[in-house]
Amino acid sequence: MPEAERFDTLILGSGQGGKLLAWHLARSGRRTAVVERQWIGGACPNIACLPSKNEIWSAKVAQLVHHAVQFGSTTGRIGVDMAKVRQRKRDMVAREVARHLKNFEASGAEVIMGSGHFVAPRTLEVRLNGGGGIRLLTGDQLFLNLGTRAAIPSIPGLEAVQPLTHIEALELDYVPSHLIVLGGGYVGVELAQAYRRFGSRVTVVERGPQLIAHEDRDVAQEVHRLLTAEGIDVFLSAKTLHVRGISGEEISLAATTASGQHKVEGSDILVAVGRVPQTAGIGLETTGVELDSSGYIRVNERLETSAARIWAIGECAGSPQFTHVSVDDFRIIRDNLAGGKRTTRDRLVPYCMFTDPPLARVGLSEQEAQRRGIAARVAKLPMSAVLRTQTTDETQGFMKALVGTSDDRILGFAMIGAEAGEVVAAVQTAMLADLPYPKLRDAILAHPTMAEGLGSLFSNVPPQ
């Protein structure tokens, strides 16, 4: 066993919150080491957020080209070169990794590539990648930034068919002739639409009664309508009985729904049914860090674990699974290390599903308000009523707002429509400032923009 190397700060995982903390603490003069098994900068720039949105944009371009005549442009024979789509994504990832390495070097934080296993509360045995031996590291403070991975459900035959997860799906250099997507959540829906636009036949098999299960029924129905309008087959309330074959060659899936048993035959299968934390098999039991029944690290509102001087950041701590939340986790820990009193309480977390058109939401949904017994007034506006959409033909979708019944505070906002991810920021800002909805209703908003629709939307709020 090598002699332990002492650091002021030891961070396991270089994801969004972990890397920001490493750069900050190292620049502050603390000797800092980051242990990373594979992805410099974590999942977001390598295999998740940015790569998926990169390829989704390529799919949008393919869709626009196929409909060029609608906008007055004529084209010749159209095709999709998935090898070039993949290379464009790989080039972006390479730029991101280079930027991260430069930031690590500039900060003074040491990046150690290898797999870590705890042998004592804040002591990590690191088996270096490439057979480089073992290093023993110990830190005065330890931060766990472990992330999550795609869940593979216990369905007979599924593991044997070597299914794709989002990682492998973003590395395909061919267009699947028929892609079966197991799971109708955010990832499944995004990639189902993208591959349909690349030219695949696509079937989505969802075990629940609607797509995107956490959304209001009218939102889910609109997304369902958009997908089927593009030729995507969707099975809801579907119990998958078994899967046969090899993904990339031939796949056969048997499922039952209320209408009976179905057999779906395809060429490839993508599993997108959720995430599990990467907390198993690394010796956490030696640290005193407690896990919940799902394997997530138990933390308090300051992101402190049950063990002294050990914190957890991002998805492994049960934080909402968004990169921007991990950034806020970093800010909470950074400020509290300096004597602050920041917590995770009452965070207003927005998100965006990057379908076309995208879905964005912040605050309460209508079903959440009902479940919590919060009375709300609901206003809706079809995107076709927003004049900007008449100039772009992006008329699909709607805006929806929840306003308190006893006051005029905005409780929640959802939008399925072009530029939803940008428009939601305006509503979020109003909510953070605790502005009454008439402030947005009566604001002078630039014309013709998508955000201009907020004036009309909030004009539809029922009176108290």
Is the pLDDT assigned to residue 2 strictly greater than 90? no
Asked, for residue 346, whether it belongs to a domain, the answer is no
Q: Mean of the pLDDT values across residues 152-176?
A: 98
Is the pLDDT assigned to residue 130 strictly greater than 90? yes
Q: Mean of the pLDDT values across residues 352-362?
A: 98
Q: Mean of the pLDDT values across residues 321-331?
A: 97
Is the pLDDT assigned to residue 1 strictly greater than 90? no
Asked, for residue 252, whether it belongs to a domain, the answer is yes
Query: Which of residues 225, 251, 273 is at a domain's end?
Result: 273
Q: Mean of the pLDDT values across residues 276-299?
A: 97
Q: Mean of the pLDDT values across residues 74-83?
A: 92
pLDDT band at 132 (very low <50, low <70, confident <90, very high): confident
Asked, for residue 154, whether it belongs to a domain, the answer is no
Statement to judge: residues 233 and 203 lie in one domain: yes
Asked, for residue 351, whether it belongs to a domain, the answer is no
Q: Mean of the pLDDT values across residues 173-201?
A: 98
Is the pLDDT assigned to residue 76 strictly greater than 90? no
Statement to judge: residues 252 and 304 lie in one domain: no
pTM exceeding 0.85: yes
Query: Which two structure tokens, joined as six digits, stand for 337?
Result: 């290390």
Q: Which residue, 395, 399, 403, is CA-closest to 422?
A: 399
CA–chain centroid gap for 27, Å, is: 29
**Per-residue pLDDT, 38:** 97
Query: Which of residues 223, 247, 273 is at a domain's end?
Result: 273
Q: What are phi and psi of 176, to 5 degrees?
A: -60, 140
Q: Mean of the pLDDT values across residues 433-445?
A: 98
- d(C-alpha 345, C-alpha 413), whole Å: 20
pLDDT band at 90 (very low <50, low <70, confident <90, very high): very high
- d(C-alpha 336, C-alpha 78), whole Å: 55
Asked, for residue 181, whether it belongs to a domain, the answer is yes
| Host domain of residue 424 | 357-459
The answer to whether 109 touches 33, Cβ cutoff 8 Å, is: yes
> Which residue's entry shows tokens 């965006």?
352
Q: Mean of the pLDDT values across residues 350-359?
A: 98
Q: What is the CATH number of the domain that holds 453?
A: 3.30.390.30
Q: Mean of the pLDDT values across residues 325-331?
A: 98
- d(C-alpha 310, C-alpha 299), whole Å: 10
Q: Mean of the pLDDT values across residues 98-105?
A: 98
**Per-residue pLDDT, 78:** 87
Number of domains within the chain: 3
**Per-residue pLDDT, 146:** 98
Q: Which of 24, 67, 324, 447 is catalytic?
A: 447
- Residues near 281 by beta carbon (within 8 Å), at least 6 away in sequence: 117
Is 447 among the catalytic positions?
A: yes
pLDDT band at 364 (very low <50, low <70, confident <90, very high): very high
Statement to judge: residues 14 and 139 lie in one domain: yes
Write the secondary structure of the chain as one string of H (helix), E (strand) and C (coil): CCCCEEEEEEEECCCHHHHHHHHHHHHCCCCEEEEECCCCCCHHHHCCHHHHHHHHHHHHHHHHHHCHHHHCCCCCCCCCCHHHHHHHHHHHHHHHHHHHHHHHHHHCCEEEEEEEEEEECCEEEEEEHHHCCEEEEEEEEEEECCCEEECCCCCCCCHHHCCECHHHHCCCCCCCCEEEEECCCHHHHHHHHHHHHHCCEEEEECCCCCCCCCCCHHHHHHHHHHHHHCCCEEECCCEEEEEEEECCCEEEEEEEECCEEEEEEECEEEECCCEEECCCCCCHHHCCCCECCCCCECCCCCCECCCCCEEECHHHHCCCCCHHHHHHHHHHHHHHHCCCCCCCCCCCCCEEECCCCCEEEEECCHHHHHHCCCCEEEEEEEHHHCHHHHHHCCCCCEEEEEEECCCCEEEEEEEECCCHHHHHHHHHHHHHCCCECHHHHCCCCCCCCCCCHHHHHHHCCCCC
Asked, for residue 350, whether it belongs to a domain, the answer is no
Is the pLDDT assigned to residue 456 strictly greater than 90? yes
If one counts every other C-beta atom within 10 angstroms of the C-beta of residue 29, the result is: 9
**Per-residue pLDDT, 205:** 98
Statement to judge: residues 83 and 164 lie in one domain: no
Statement to judge: residues 78 and 208 lie in one domain: no
**Per-residue pLDDT, 77:** 87
Statement to judge: residues 10 and 34 lie in one domain: yes
Statement to judge: residues 16 and 132 lie in one domain: yes
Q: Mean of the pLDDT values across residues 281-306?
A: 98
Q: How many residues does the chain have?
A: 464
pLDDT band at 173 (very low <50, low <70, confident <90, very high): very high
The answer to whether 402 touches 461, Cβ cutoff 8 Å, is: no
Q: What is the mean pLDDT of the chain?
A: 97
- Residues near 458 by beta carbon (within 8 Å), at least 6 away in sequence: 379, 401, 403, 437, 438, 440, 441
**Per-residue pLDDT, 75:** 82
Statement to judge: residues 204 and 190 lie in one domain: yes
Q: Which residue, 12, 1, 8, is CA-closest to 284?
A: 12
Q: What is the CATH number of the domain that holds 211?
A: 3.50.50.60
- d(C-alpha 249, C-alpha 268), whole Å: 7
If one counts every other C-beta atom within 10 angstroms of the C-beta of residue 261, the result is: 10
Q: Mean of the pLDDT values across residues 292-310?
A: 98
Statement to judge: residues 40 and 134 lie in one domain: yes
Asked, for residue 352, whether it belongs to a domain, the answer is no
**Per-residue pLDDT, 80:** 97
Statement to judge: residues 106 and 169 lie in one domain: no
Could you tell me the CA-to-CA distances from 120 to 4, 75, 116 in Å, in that order? 11, 64, 12
Query: Which of residues 337, 365, 386 is at a domain's end?
Result: 337
Statement to judge: residues 219 and 70 lie in one domain: no
Statement to judge: residues 191 and 108 lie in one domain: no
- d(C-alpha 223, C-alpha 396), whole Å: 10
- d(C-alpha 185, C-alpha 182), whole Å: 9
